[in-house]
């Protein structure tokens, strides 16, 4: 073992894109290796859980934890890595605010299992077998981790020191964080969001913005947007207005509306609610002035009809960390 500070990266309920984002710092990975002992990362290295258990507490300097807490195993690893790490960073949208896996919080575990294991055109499961924590086989009892009803973020399970947003975090921002640590400069206040800005994506977006009066919303495939005009003004639901900056406004630059992966800007508690607020502010009101109460509602409903799944769209990344966190249990 070397005397370099240890750095580790773990994945819970996530896709593996965060590991790719880390490797995407390219040749800088050599600097990481020069400064740190990269000792645990199930995606890239063969270190075992037992070896982590045997380490003294707080002996890992930094753990980048990506993924939400979906299963018993995710939770166990979150506790273990919290204990063994000096600085625990929720890395990426899943660990920070739930991300795509958290959209399942709009359903129950049973509904989820039904869709995944039973009612799916590509599923062949005539016996209707569902995952159970314990099952008896001739060789003995098999145990798999329990699957929770609600996906939680890392900070809802253990104490987290910092949050790096993004799906995945931009390599440049990851490097900024690592560079800061290497430089020995004092770390930002605990619990802060690092590797990102504090304002909104609009701040970084070069598109021309003027007064917004949207009469109709479009889905991405329906129109080819003008190159320079704000996407929201063209009726595309661009989440940039309710999303933290730091990514460099990459998506709007290539004609794709922001989907909100950097989470809410500083000071905003609920990204979806903020988006509802923003949409209410940019919809054209000239068309509803002078109408009767009923006609006003009709007109508004017809405008927002083209947003088929507002919760899925506005909380694509932040559902688990939103105010309501999940669909209300009946």
Which residues lie across from 228 on neighbouring strands?
A: none
Q: Which of 169, 195, 246, 272 binds another protein (CB under 8 A)?
A: 272
The answer to whether 274 contacts another protein (rule: CB under 8 A) is: yes
- Report the b/e string of 280-304 with b at 16+ CB within 10 A: eebbeeeeeeeeeeeeeeeebeebe
Element (H, E) at 47: none
Enumerate residues 6+ apart whose C-beta is below 8 A from 158: 78, 79, 82, 88
The answer to whether 289 contacts another protein (rule: CB under 8 A) is: yes
Q: Which of 48, 215, 291, 306 binds another protein (CB under 8 A)?
A: 291
Q: Which of 43, 106, 182, 187 binds another protein (CB under 8 A)?
A: 106
| Per-residue tokens: 56 | 């003294």
Which residues lie across from 44 on neighbouring strands?
A: none
Least separation in angstroms between residue 245's CB and another protein is 20
The answer to whether 327 contacts another protein (rule: CB under 8 A) is: yes
Least separation in angstroms between residue 106's CB and another protein is 6
Q: Would you tell me how many other CB atoms lie within 10 Å of the CB of residue 87?
A: 18
Span near another protein by CB under 8 A; candidates 1-9, 156-164, 248-256, 316-324: 316-324
| Per-residue tokens: 259 | 């989907």
Least separation in angstroms between residue 313's CB and another protein is 10
The answer to whether 314 contacts another protein (rule: CB under 8 A) is: yes
**Residue 318, phi then psi, degrees to nearest 5:** -120, 15
Asked whether 67 and 157 are in contact (CB, 8 A), the reply is no
The answer to whether 250 contacts another protein (rule: CB under 8 A) is: no
Report how far apart, in Å, the C-alpha atoms of 220 and of each of 45, 90, 206, 225, 257 are.
Answer: 39, 31, 20, 9, 8
Residue owning tokens 């240890």: 6
Least separation in angstroms between residue 64's CB and another protein is 30
The answer to whether 297 contacts another protein (rule: CB under 8 A) is: yes
The answer to whether 267 contacts another protein (rule: CB under 8 A) is: no
Span near another protein by CB under 8 A; candidates 118-126, 144-152, 249-257, 282-290: 282-290
Q: Which of 230, 270, 316, 321 binds another protein (CB under 8 A)?
A: 270
Binding site for another protein (CB under 8 A): 106, 268-270, 272-274, 276-277, 279-281, 283, 285, 288-291, 293, 296-297, 300-301, 304, 307, 309-312, 314, 322-324, 326-330
């Amino acid at each position: 073992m070397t005397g370099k500070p240890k750095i580790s990266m773990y994945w819970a309920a996530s896709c593996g894109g965060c590991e790719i984002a880390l490797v995407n710092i390219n040749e800088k990975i050599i600097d990481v290796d020069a400064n740190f002992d990269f000792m645990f990362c199930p995606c890239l290295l063969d270190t075992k859980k037992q070896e982590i258990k045997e380490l003294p507490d707080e002996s890992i300097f930094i753990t980048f934890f990506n993924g939400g807490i979906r299963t018993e195993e995710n939770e166990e690893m979150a506790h273990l890595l919290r204990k063994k790490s000096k600085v625990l960073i929720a890395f990426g949208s899943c660990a920070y605010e739930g991300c795509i896996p958290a959209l399942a919080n709009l359903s129950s575990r049973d509904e989820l299992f039904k869709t995944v294991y039973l009612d799916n055109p590509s599923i062949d499961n005539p016996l209707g077998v569902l995952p159970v924590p314990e099952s008896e086989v001739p060789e003995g009892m098999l145990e798999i981790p329990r699957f929770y009803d609600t996906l939680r973020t890392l900070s809802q399970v253990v104490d987290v020191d910092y949050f790096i947003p993004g799906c995945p975090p931009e390599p440049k921002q990851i490097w900024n964080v690592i560079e800061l640590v290497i430089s020995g400069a004092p770390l930002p206040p605990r619990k802060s969001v690092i590797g990102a800005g504090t304002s909104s994506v609009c701040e970084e977006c070069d598109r021309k913005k003027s007064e917004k009066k949207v009469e109709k919303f479009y889905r991405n495939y329906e129109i080819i947007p003008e190159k320079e005009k704000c996407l929201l003004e063209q009726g595309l639901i661009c989440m940039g207005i309710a999303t933290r900056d730091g990514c460099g406004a990459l998506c709007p630059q290539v004609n794709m509306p922001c989907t909100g992966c950097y989470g809410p800007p500083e000071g905003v508690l609920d990204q979806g609610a903020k988006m509802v607020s923003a949409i209410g502010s940019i919809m054209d009101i000239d068309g509803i002035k002078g109408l009767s109460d009923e006609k006003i509602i009709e007109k508004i409903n017809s405008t927002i009809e083209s947003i088929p799944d507002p919760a899925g769209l506005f909380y694509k990344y932040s559902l688990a960390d939103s105010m309501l966190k999940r669909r209300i249990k009946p």
